[in-house]
Amino acid sequence: MRHPALRLMISGIALAVAGTAAGCSAAPGLAYDQGVAHPEASGSAAIAMVPASARDKTEDATSLSVAGTPQGVKAKEGMLVDAATGQVLWSRNVNTTAPIASITKVMTALVIIQAGNLNQEVTVPKEVTAYVAKYAANAAGLVPGQQFTVDELLHIMLVMSAADAAYTLANAYGPGLTGFIAKMNAEAARLGLTGTRFTSPDGLPYPSETSTYSTSADLVRLGELAMTYPEFSSIVKLHTYSVPATVDHNAVSVTSDNALLATYPGTVGIKTGFTNAAGHTLLFEAVRDGRTLLGVVLGSPITGFASAAQDAAKILNWGFALQASG
């Protein structure tokens, strides 16, 4: 069971206390990953698990922890909370705003799910092709003029992190991108996410590399809320998703790039991201022995495809061991 209110003032912040390239070919040298397509993403990415008993006593002074800190975490910012008790177990630079890449799509999905009517059919707009090409974005190859249900597009967007699915949904629910982005920012304001700003529905560098940003504290709160919606949580735990061909559209098959799903037992989601400015980012949740831990890492090194997942695994190992020993 989740903590009913994830809302304490900690360090001056209102916060929630409490694999592989998928479904399409990516252009060589792809700079922006709406989840996965990255020039170094070749084959499976193994996550090195750090012994849960390890403790790094050199953590920076701004970190919050209850007993030591996880060892070897390279992310610039991050946080880990117990989703049941609301206790903050570890954090690093929780006030720092940073680009978040495709974690942006968590808010996109939340706005759409709250609006409802997920069984309606939406037409893929013609503009999506140029949009994807302009940013060399990760895409599922949606064909303009074809129709998918909103639920199908949510699956494609969240599992594969497809920018063409995000564009199609935002265009329909705005209506138009400008209208939809306004709704994203309005929801962020309603939730008290004061360190968050959206300028795209997908985390692409529009209009700049850093114009969409958030903080670790805000993202943990956002992730906590999103995971309370069954429509969301049932999607982000999936390794793969397929839509068979119909008279309305071609077949689409996508695979999640969240390495934790394949390598870390108990992982139940939730969203990856990558851009050159953001580095690797990951909002994650895992369950072990009835305990649920929710966390985020931002700014993990760009030199390794699974660097965010490696950081998350170290933090989770430490967090679960901490709880077990406590």
Catalytic residue annotation: 102, 105, 161
Write the CB contacts of 256 (distance below 8 Å, at least 6 apart in sequence).
Answer: 19, 22, 35, 159, 160, 238, 239, 240
Query: Other C-beta atoms within 10 Å of 241: how many?
Result: 21
Write the CB contacts of 44 (distance below 8 Å, at least 6 apart in sequence).
Answer: 19, 20, 262
Pull the structure tokens for residue 231: 């429509």
Cis amide prior to 265 (ω within 30 degrees): no
Segment holding 216, helix H or strand E? helix 216-226
Cβ(278)–Cβ(251) under 8 Å?
no
Strands 213-214 and 98-99: antiparallel
What is the maximal distance between C-alpha atoms in the chain? 60
Phi, psi of 134 (to 5 degrees): -60, -40
Q: Which residues pair with 274 in a beta bridge?
A: 33, 280
